[in-house]
Amino acid sequence: ENAPDHEVLKAKLAEYAERLPTCDVVILSDYGKGGLAHIAEMIRLARAAGKPVLVDPKGEDYARYAGATLLTPNRSELRQVVGRWADDAELAAKAQKLRADLGLEALLVTRSEEGMTLFRERGAEHEPALAREVFDVSGAGDTVIATLAVMMAAGQDMAVAMRLANRAAGVVVAKLGTATCSLAELQAA
């Protein structure tokens, strides 16, 4: 698979900048395919427009995400960047250092069966996993970041958004294949 052409990406960047005023929240999901070659500029433009930027990161170069509002790495993605940790205290120290170094408001680490932890300047908040049975984790990270974005666009605090994102993720991992979570399922979770 070929990475997108530089000129195509530049044109898309201009289109992105034009559409920013219509957005409440920006989600950037990095799949490592070259489509976000200008992600630092995308983050800068969105933040200058007063838009929260949520990033689902990929790879080892998190410096490119500096200035985003929130990153949502999973446990193994974070480990690639900060190294292993022995316990929750060491995880917190490494996560908070990364958050501060990148100028993020928050770092949300999804931790599979251990739930998820939101790291902000004022400390960490943890939500245990809610899934009773896990059939397929495909799309769980996408569900988390989408739910966070919807809740933040509705004016909810990140901690409240995290709790609902955790519930939504618990719904989708209990289904086979890439799945969605309806409002009724979220309310019942």
The CB-based long-range contact list for 40-44 (8 Å cut-off, 24+ gap) reads 40/64, 40/65, 40/66, 40/67, 41/13, 42/13, 42/16, 43/67, 43/68
Entry pTM = 0.90
Contacts of 189 (CB under 8 A, 6+ apart): 130, 167, 168, 170, 171, 181
CATH number corresponding to 6-188: 3.40.1190.20
Residues assigned a catalytic role: 142
**Tens digit of pLDDT per residue, the chain (189 long)?**
566 777 888 888 999 999 999 999 999 999 888 788 889 999 999 999 999 999 999 999 999 999 999 999 999 999 999 999 999 999 999 999 999 999 999 999 999 888 899 999 999 999 998 756 776 677 788 999 999 999 999 999 999 999 999 999 988 888 888 888 988 998 888
